[in-house]
Structure 1
Amino acid sequence: MAAPLTAENLARAPKVLLHDHLDGGLRPQTVLELADEAGYRDLPADEPDALGRWFREAADSGSLPRYLETFAHTVAVLQRPEAVQRVARECALDLAADGVVYAEVRMAPELLTDGRMSLDEVVEAMLDGYAQGAREAAATGTPIVVGTLLCAMRQADRWVEVAEQVVRHRGAGVVGFDLAGPEDGFPPDRIPEAIAVLDRAGAHRTVHAGEAAGIGSIAAALDGARAERLGHGVRIADEVPDGGPLGPVAQRVRDAQVPLEVAPSSNVQTGAYPSLADHPVDRLHRAGFAVTLNTDNRLMSGVSASSELTAVVDTFGWGWDDVQTVAERALTGAFVDPAERDRLLTEVLRPGYAALRG
């Protein structure tokens, strides 16, 4: 007999996470301690619960610019290698404890160079932290594989440097490139030399698109940056009418099974949709798009991979078929070595779901 789809059982389910920001997932206690070590005095609260509540309330404004302002504090305390390494380690441990078996965590290394770290030092500190966290998680019986995505900021001009970091560290845990930041006014082919660096190396890339901007932004990500996945991508729903034919970009995305890195709670917080019930995640899933479920920023949204999954299951009446399909889709779209993908599928995901489904 199948286990009921309770929050407890969904926490036990093996999950695959493709869209999680390192600087959006710090523990409140860690923010306080790192601020103290760095002499950073601008935090809005001095106690963990109050600070966590402030992040959630400040992010829950219905405005993407206001949401992004919260990152000023987390980025400020991440300007030293020791801080980056600690937060990456804790990220791996927290995700593993939540039943995530494979995660791709992203960060824009250029944001962490104010304290005079080089891009190399930032990336190496992240990789060290993830590796240490994964070792500790495995030792406690909750193994996790963590891949690193390096973001270039659309509005800045360091795309080539970030792309070169992706290529340089590919064998050490960096699995791909991302473009983050404002979609409007900063097209994904603005610096073609960076895309050329990725193309020459055959490096993977995902692009934030279809979050704050619409269909044109999605098409530009696919054509201009040759995105293999879409970060958020939910505005593809603009071309998915109830009962009507798909628009041309939506048809292309569905036919190619381009993974959508959907983060429903984040989209509601930034004002893209008024509530989870109004979010198109279920409509896209039912229409056959390659929907995956993600956290985006666990601190700002006050979510975990399990809570996000539980909210969608409860809101839209998903069953175990839906939950397993989304997990397997995410693994299919992951920038992971094919042998590792097969191992995770046959030794972790499918046995885990078989046990839950009875």
Structure 2
Amino acid sequence: MSDPIHTRYLTDTADGIAAAADVLASGGLLALPTETVYGLGADARVDRACARIFAAKGRPQFNPLIVHLAGVDQAEQIGMFDATARKLADAFWPGPLTLVVPLRETAGISPLVTAGNPTIGLRVPNHPLARAVLTAFGGPVAAPSANPSGKISPTMAKHVQQGLDGLIEAVIDGGACTVGVESTIVGCVDGRATLLRPGGVSVEDIADVIGYTPEARGDADPISAPGQLSSHYAPDAAVSLNITTPAPDQVWVGFGPDCTDAELNLSPTGDLTEAAANLFQMLRRADEIANGTRRIAFAPVPDTGLGLAINDRLRRAAAPRDQA
């Protein structure tokens, strides 16, 4: 086992941004905020740097990584965009949407990023600090969520430190993430859009742009994008879903004004945007309350809009752990 690394804490200042870019340029690992969750970034062109992402997270190497970029021009140098991909990029970038497109042979991306697939996931985030760091670095940054693989995604810098301190070079603090669930992933490969993972952009909004609802990926289809493992986002405590009357040994996480007895509530007003932003932080808090002696129960969440992404994450958190 390698010696622990001194993980630096960087702030949202000119010096902090410059230091963060230097970490990436030197082949180091940097945790940085996006509007969705904190990502664990490395230079997507450097095999050793990308391999360290997998080592730090304990991540299966068949699970590909999303590449984050400062702008659309950089993205088009790496992936090939058809008309559908261009429409979606124009509508939702910068923002919480990842597009999986064919990889250009001249892209120079480490094969560890694509996990051997002929496609690549690209995203232009909308967090001002992420954009500042990406611009200062000037290259593609591979960045899955900055947490141990399969565990709860981080929405604050302290969550990163709890899971990865001593394993990465630095974390730069941009405050709490505003969206709180990962990006929506849409495949644009054969002229049709495919929903690979629900997330921060709703399926309804995507359909408004392209004129149809993208077909969802089948459970038996090969893994072509992050977040497709059956068990993911798992706390230590067992998780049950759609619970309206919790058992005494369950920490009940409610949704909406009717859950007055819930110990925690994703959104007391029933606002799905608020619930998405609170999801991972509430999951962490529920696990702390459970403290190894109780289980976690979530109240029903509507399966529309951002609720689709929330329920996707909750199902993965509740899945049998032997599927991770």
With normalisation by structure 2, the TM-score equals: 0.30
* Higher-helix-fraction structure: 1
* Higher-strand-fraction structure: 2
With normalisation by structure 1, the TM-score equals: 0.28
